[in-house]
Structure 1
Amino acid sequence: MSTAKRLCYFMSASSPTGFASYFGHLTATGSGYRPYLIKGAPGGGKSTILQAVGDALVDAGHTVEFIHCSSDPDSLDAVVCREKGVAVMDATAPHLQDPKYPGAHEQVISLYGCIDARALQPVRDDIVAHLDAATACHARTCKFLSAAASLLADDRAIVSRYTDWPKLQRYAQSVARRHFAEKPGGRAGVRSCRMLSTIGQKGPRTFTDTVRALCPDIYLIEDANRAVAPAFLKILAESALAAGYDVTCCYWPLSPYDKLEHLLVPELGLAFVSQERQNTLSRELPRPYRHIYSRRFLDLDGLYAYRNRLSFNKKAAKELLAEAVKVEKEAAAHHDAAEALYRPAIDFEAVQKISDELVAAICG
């Protein structure tokens, strides 16, 4: 029976500091992947090609990561197959990737030859206006995210002062000892950076199906202020890596380079998943799972004096995040309009031929 799996992740997102991306991890020469960089116009078939490659790899019995667009989770940005050592990606803005060693390392798949540029001239100004407006919307999104992140950082700073960090460290180390027996050979594990969650035009989205597909053994961390879970997960990640286990570190979109939100250890079928509020992820995860409550590490009496400030920050941040979603919807509308203008000028038969050739080259 095939053990192929379809795993869904994000690898980029709008963030408080701008557009955050891990795509460079896939194109690095030491990544273990042969990168295929697809270049083309909006609506020009890039996501369709990615879907075809991913489906073909799964049909061939391989586990594949389907990397979704954070703004539009129904669209793909990349497909990654570690077993085949390939990473195929949309290499256009905002997750722009250009080849450093073309042919020797990266393979560029250009769809630009499938565009009838003359057919676009009557709608040129409309295309420019829509794409520029979408870019401006994404910039506004980042401002809302930055404001929300600032308020939530204030909450974390308060909670941090009333956290028993030595107790947290001792507990994390005990969990690590329970699960991460050192593997023979002395090889350190490999860290993969992904996101399971994002905030896009359809609101917050988390790919809990990926957790279910990989990890029957789940810890659910209840952390109302995202102050305890990132530190706990960091200790576990470093312990697992030192013991020789590969890990998938899933970062929080509002702090995409330094705050862990979830941790997966696929070899052990083990996941550590955090949630900010009760019944957000817990309704979607398979039972039984083990609970870890952050309040066990907190001085709740000390925090009581700050209850109004903590509550205000959360409510204000929630409103700011809702505005970010509205602006992402505006961006999506502009992007969709640009795609509609491009499509009549695309030779989709030529795109299909390129797709078929790429599938054959990767899966043959």
Structure 2
Amino acid sequence: MNDESNILDFFLGSNTPEGFVSLFDEITGLYKDYVSYVIKGGPGTGKSTLMKKCAAEASLLEPYLERIHCSSDPNSLDAVILPGAKVTIADGTPPHVIEPQFPGAYESVVNFCDCWDEEDLQKNREAVFSLSEKVSACHRQCVGLLKAAHSLLQDNFLLAMACTDGVKATKAADNILERECKRRRGLLSKEHKRFLSAITPKGLLCCTDTVNRLCDRIYVLKDSYGASGTLFMEELRTQLLQRGFEIYTCICPLNPHDKIEHIFVPELRLGFVTANPFLPLEKALAPYRVIHFTRFTDMEALKKKKQRMRFNQRMAAELLDESVRSLQKAKSIHDALEQVYGHAMDYKKINDKAQAVLCAIRQKYPAEV
């Protein structure tokens, strides 16, 4: 078995109540000193296979690297980030389209589109159209279900927030930071935004191995409704960036614009993780310390709302389960679409292009390594 202790697994896109939310501008906007390989091609044409080969080779040379998984098929990769070589490789096709802004100077397009038999694909165009539309319909259904689940959970959030002592929650975050990381002068902060979890055909999936690979000390905030956790994490993020640290900020796939779920500080090997009934991460990790949301909550006031909140949570869980089933159906149909494209591919041509990319990346590393 390969040693993957230096591999960090994340998502840069997720199905959300707002549709597919992409963080791929983390690659296109923040890595201008890198070389960015953008792969263009149809479904099942070898994009993920190339990235897996790059990650496997680079894992022997990199102090750490990132594998970015596809939320519609977690076994597939959407991108790989190689800091040692200063290289990113990404699938540049929908739903996370990447169009080169500085072609040749920054992005290098790897075109698999000239490796297929267009005549064969045109003969099967009706199947391509039909299967593609069915996949889209499944994703639309998933979004509708997630929107309904989010509405119920947002009601719980607002009810809990009314019972939460925000000052106490933010003060707790400040006290922890005073112990764990001192203020620093003259250092620029840096933030990487990621999804650590995503709604996938395998369920609500979380890359817990990444937490253990990044952190020796893990604070887990058990928060059933997200109110105190939101305030706690926002304060942590603000203070860590003000103090000049490089951090990973992991956002919530059910509330991608307003809620931070986890924060990691690689330099300190320090992590802050939110656990809830849908992701009971305290069971999957070895926490240094567990903080319960009841510490910041008026539990007597919250008890008066328990019946409504339990109903909301139970119905949201059913909706989430149904959204997963819609993604499972989408994947099954997408697999059939991949077979149509696979039948039309010249895989020798693709392998030659893949080898050229691998060779170019190898040359980015020092010869003595």
TM-score by length of 1: 0.96
CA contact (8 A) 2:40 2:113 kept: yes
Q: Distance in 2 between matches of 1:194 and 1:178?
A: 26
Matched residue, 2:367 = none
CA contact (8 A) 2:13 2:20 kept: yes
Matched residue, 2:272 = 272
Matched residue, 1:360 = 359
CA drift at 1:107: 1.2
Deviations 1:316-339 (A, max 9, x none): 111111110011011111110000
Q: Distance in 2 between matches of 1:50 and 1:276?
A: 33
CA contact (8 A) 2:32 2:106 kept: no
Matched residue, 1:64 = 65
Unaligned runs of 5+ in 2: 364-369
Deviations 1:162-220 (A, max 9, x none): 10111112111111211221234x12310000011111111111111001111011111
- Quickly say closer, same or farther: Cα 1:303–1:31, change in 2 above 3 A: farther
Q: Distance in 2 between matches of 1:274 and 1:242?
A: 22
Secondary structure of the 1:20 match is: strand
Asked if 1:83 is matched to 2:84, the reply is: yes
CA contact (8 A) 2:221 2:292 kept: yes
Matching residue's letter, 1:20? V
Matched residue, 1:112 = 113
CA drift at 1:123: 1.7
CA drift at 1:132: 1.4
Question: Mean Cα displacement is larger for which, 89-98 or 226-235?
Answer: 226-235
- Quickly say closer, same or farther: Cα 1:137–1:279, change in 2 above 3 A: closer
CA contact (8 A) 2:34 2:106 kept: no
Q: Distance in 2 between matches of 1:14 and 1:270?
A: 28
Q: Distance in 1 between matches of 2:86 and 2:183?
A: 26
Share of identical aligned residues, percent? 35
Question: Mean Cα displacement is larger for which, 277-286 or 305-314?
Answer: 277-286
Compute the RMSD of aligned alpha carbons: 1.6
Matched residue, 1:103 = 104
Matching residue's letter, 2:280? T
Matching residue's letter, 1:336? D
Secondary structure of the 2:67 match is: strand
Secondary structure of the 1:156 match is: helix
Matched residue, 2:220 = 220
Q: Distance in 1 between matches of 2:347 and 2:156?
A: 51
Matching residue's letter, 1:44? T
CA contact (8 A) 2:223 2:229 kept: yes
Deviations 1:210-243 (A, max 9, x none): 0111101111110001111122111111211111
Secondary structure of the 1:277 match is: coil
CA contact (8 A) 1:3 1:62 kept: no
Secondary structure of the 1:101 match is: coil
Secondary structure of the 1:84 match is: coil
- Quickly say closer, same or farther: Cα 1:250–1:331, change in 2 above 3 A: same
Matched residue, 2:183 = 182
Matched residue, 2:171 = 170
CA contact (8 A) 2:7 2:59 kept: yes
Secondary structure of the 2:281 match is: coil
- Structural mapping, 1:273-352, within 5 Å: 273-277=273-277, 280-286=280-286, 288-352=287-351
Unaligned runs of 5+ in 1: none
CA contact (8 A) 1:3 1:61 kept: no
Secondary structure of the 2:124 match is: helix
CA contact (8 A) 1:8 1:65 kept: yes
Number of equivalenced pairs: 361
Question: Mean Cα displacement is larger for which, 219-228 or 20-29?
Answer: 20-29
